[in-house]
Amino acid sequence: MNQIKPNVNRPPSLKNAPPLPEGPPDYRAVGRHAVFPETSHDEIARLNFLAQMNRHLATRVMPFVKSAWEQRVQPRLEASGEPPQDRHDVRRALSQDPVFQTWSALRRMTMEQRQQAGRWTALRQAEILAEKAAALTEEDERLALDPAIRIPRYVGAVDHHTMPGSYHQERFPGDVSAAANYDHAIFATTGGLLGRLTDGAGRGIVRWLGENMPDFAPRRVLEIGATIGHSLLPIAAAFPRAQVIAVDLGAPVLRYGLARAKSLGIENVSFVQADGTDLSRYEAASFDWIQTTMFLHELSRASMRAIFAECFRLLKPGGIMIHVEQPQYAPAMPLFEQAMRDWDSFYNNEPFWSTLHGIDLDALMEEVGFTHENFVHSHVTAVVDKDIFPDAADDEAEDYGRKASWRLVGAVR
């Protein structure tokens, strides 16, 4: 019988590598609130498996894809006399390699199973969750829904990242199951890197503000595409005297978002159903801070330009616009990395991901009126409870799109 020898054919990126950061905590460490779904033993086990599987794919399997590219796929292309010219050439070549095929199939599987697991948990208690949300939000003026709103085709035609019905679909009046699914099961995708309340990005932005704009005290804050307010509530908590507004197209996430905020003791946030491309309900120069958080990649190009233009119109002089996203495909980024980051566009129901990351955002900001000398480019990582959850700042593993580490791009008005 042949014995398996350790480290045989192990990718160079893993040989002699330092120990990897600790994996996800047990799901039972996740923070809960008044409208958080109840989870059974079996449901917890599924989410724990998926979180561990995603972590394994990112830290243990991904390096083999890079090794296959460097040792087999790229040399074959170079020898053929047709070296890759762009990320699409790399992706097409990788798609024929068994290592990439295995990694990609497993990653898609985890996304589908995460949605199946999370959706089932939310659906089996959908009526109870709706009643809890209604009890917390009934006749509360901080929830402003628009029954006549039109869901744009670029939103309605796609189940974003395989989420059935995306964020906006309602199964019955008052439904919040889409939001509950998103809230409680995102742990499986992030592996805890966003912390116990999945608000690590917002907490990271607050830290960035303190370090880079210590005297800035916004009195009126807007987040476009805020869903349930994961990233906005830490800002509201940091500036309790500010008027904070969460805008989104989806009624379920807004209902749930306000109920969640109130149950967490955050009282200065309103949740408004509106299309970010037309915020004419708000006066010009009426906000100090406008942001989006991992939202631009779900926009068509036309809607993105319209949102940037609205940000310019709505900001006060001296106000700031910030967009939190994964990095753009700059010329310095290797084509392999660009192709791997493009995975979501082709295999994870994110049709605008590739387009966004190839756009010159600086040129777009100038086009709508911002000036180059007022641009903001920076970086932020999630802030979490390090005693329980893995710290993204210390995580050297790179899975090209899931890491809780982002670029900030924006401008001062």
- Tell me: the pLDDT tens digits for 290-318? 999 999 999 999 999 999 999 999 999 99
> What are phi and psi for residue 375, nearest 5 degrees?
-70, 150
What per-residue confidence (pLDDT) applies to 400? 84
Provide the pLDDT confidence category of residue 246 given band limits of 50, 70 and 90: very high
Average pLDDT, the chain: 93
pLDDT value at position 387? 87
The answer to whether the beta carbons of residues 317 and 285 sit under 8 Å apart is: yes
Q: Has residue 241 got a pLDDT over 90?
A: yes
Question: Which run of H or of E encompasses 99?
Answer: helix 98-123
Q: What is the mean pLDDT of residues 149-165?
A: 92
- For residue 390, the model assigns a pLDDT of 85
Round to whole Å and give the CA distance between 396 and 401.
13
What average pLDDT score do residues 226-239 get? 98
Q: How far is CA 118 from CA 23, 181, 269, in A?
A: 21, 5, 26
pLDDT value at 337 more than 70: yes
> 63 near 157, Cβ under 8 Å?
no
The answer, yes or no, to whether residue 21 has pLDDT greater than 90, is no
- What's the rounded mean pLDDT across residues 5-27? 59
Q: In the predicted model, is pLDDT for residue 5 greater than 70?
A: no
Q: In the structure, what pLDDT confidence band is assigned to residue 20 with cuts at 50, 70 and 90? A: low
* pLDDT tens digits for range 34-79: 999 999 999 999 999 999 999 999 989 999 999 999 999 999 999 9
Helical spans, DSSP H, in 57-97 = 62-68, 74-79, 87-94
How confident is the model at residue 72, as a pLDDT? 96
Q: How far apart are CA 396 and CA 403, in angstroms?
A: 9
Distance CA 104, CA 98 (A): 10
| Domains assigned to the chain | 34-413 (3.40.50.150)
Look at residue 229 in the predicted model and tell me its pLDDT. Answer: 98
The pLDDT value given to residue 43 = 97
User: How many residues would you count in the chain?
Assistant: 413
How confident is the model at residue 8, as a pLDDT?
37
Tell me, what's the pLDDT at 180? 98
Of the chain, the percentage scoring pLDDT greater than 90 comes to 86
